[in-house]
Amino acid sequence: MKIAIAGSGALGCGFGYMMKKGGNDVTLMDYWDAHIQAIRENGLSISVNGKEDNVSMKIGKPNEIQDTFDVVFVFTKSMGLRAMMEAIKHTLTDDTKVVCLLNGLGHAKTIAEYIPEKNIIMGTTVWTAGIDAPGQTHFMGEGPVEVQNADPSEEEGARQVVKMMADCGLNGVYSENVHFTTWRKACVNGTMNALCSLLDCNIEELFHTSESDHLVTEIITEFSQVAATESVDINVQETVDYVKMTAEKVGAHYPSMHQDLQQNKRPTEIDFLNGAVAKEAEANGFSAPYCKLITQLIHAKEDIYGIKR
């Protein structure tokens, strides 16, 4: 397949690498000059579950890429999705599938402003990744990547993307209910990402604290109440168990929000996670006090670090 990665940070490089190794024609797109230059000059250096490799990859800024693609994976941060969709319009044909695995809520609506629903594939992943230096990244875990077509009549296209990812070792899985999968993943990030960022700890450390059970249960209860307003059934106890199982799998990883806030002093995705839940709760006439407080605290920390939103 002819594939583009729109936003080639940590996860984008990991997916791009795996899909190139699997025999696809992959182009990375990004705006970060030092990263682009490093990959052009020295190739992408990547460690996949501890195994080092270096590959040459095509990379450019969206306006420099004149090709069109069969599939585009968007891998920006949530705040950058709209601008990226605008910037890559010329690389999309009437049939290009756009796959979105970003953490957070509400992305399908943003993408639908740019392409027909028949071409949207939504999903989640628990692969983890990080950037060590421009042009140097790591990619860890075993997946899965769960995706589903936004338009119910377009299952075949999503199944082809699932097969391609499975063939590349990305553990692609077809999701029978991507709304549920997205909300369940939002519960993972609304607990682990927000709390590890505030407490400045990794996931393993968080789950060894005496308060983690209580905090995780309260936050997931609020996510569940808002999910119900969208007819998505998030069972609190099952989801707490799922979050703990995910935490055991990813271990001492620092979630992407911790990487943003504490390590790189960049804006966080909190408004698309706990912030979105607090806002939707209020719009529906109830409150989500844990999510609201966590959002305010993350924004206060961004202010202390002088991070512009």
Ligand X SMILES: NC(=O)C1=CN([C@@H]2O[C@H](COP(=O)(O)OP(=O)(O)OC[C@H]3O[C@@H](n4cnc5c(N)ncnc54)[C@H](OP(=O)(O)O)[C@@H]3O)[C@@H](O)[C@H]2O)C=CC1
By annotation, the residues acting in catalysis are 185
**Can you tell me which residue has the tokens 């044909």?**
93
9 or 60, CB closer to ligand KPL?
9
Q: What CA–CA distance (Å, rounded) separates 190 from 153?
A: 31
Torsion of CA 302, 304, 306, 309, to 10 degrees: 30
Binding partner selected for residue 131 from ligand X, ligand KPL, none, CB under the kind-specific 5 to 8 Å limit: ligand X
Q: What is each CA distance from 255 to 66, 101, 180, 269, in whole angstroms?
A: 34, 15, 21, 12
Q: What CA–CA distance (Å, rounded) separates 115 from 104?
A: 20
User: Is 135 a residue that touches ligand X (CB under 6 A)?
Assistant: no
Q: Rounded to the nearest 5°, which phi and psi values hold at 111? A: -65, -35
Residue nearest to ligand X (CB): 9
Identify residues 43-82 at the interface with ligand X (CB under 6 A): 75-78, 80
Q: Nearest approach, Cβ of 129 to ligand X (angstroms)?
A: 4
Binding partner selected for residue 192 from ligand KPL, ligand X, none, CB under the kind-specific 5 to 8 Å limit: ligand KPL
225 or 256, CB closer to ligand KPL?
256
Q: Nearest approach, Cβ of 301 to ligand X (angstroms)?
A: 17
State the residues that interact with ligand KPL by CB under 6 A.
103, 126, 128, 188-189, 192-193, 250, 253, 255-256
Binding partner selected for residue 181 from ligand KPL, ligand X, none, CB under the kind-specific 5 to 8 Å limit: none
Binding partner selected for residue 161 from ligand KPL, ligand X, none, CB under the kind-specific 5 to 8 Å limit: none
Q: Is 51 left (phi over 0), alpha (psi -120 to 50) or beta?
A: beta
Q: Residue 146: which of 109, 119, 171 has the closest Cα? A: 171
Q: Nearest approach, Cβ of 186 to ligand X (angstroms)?
A: 10
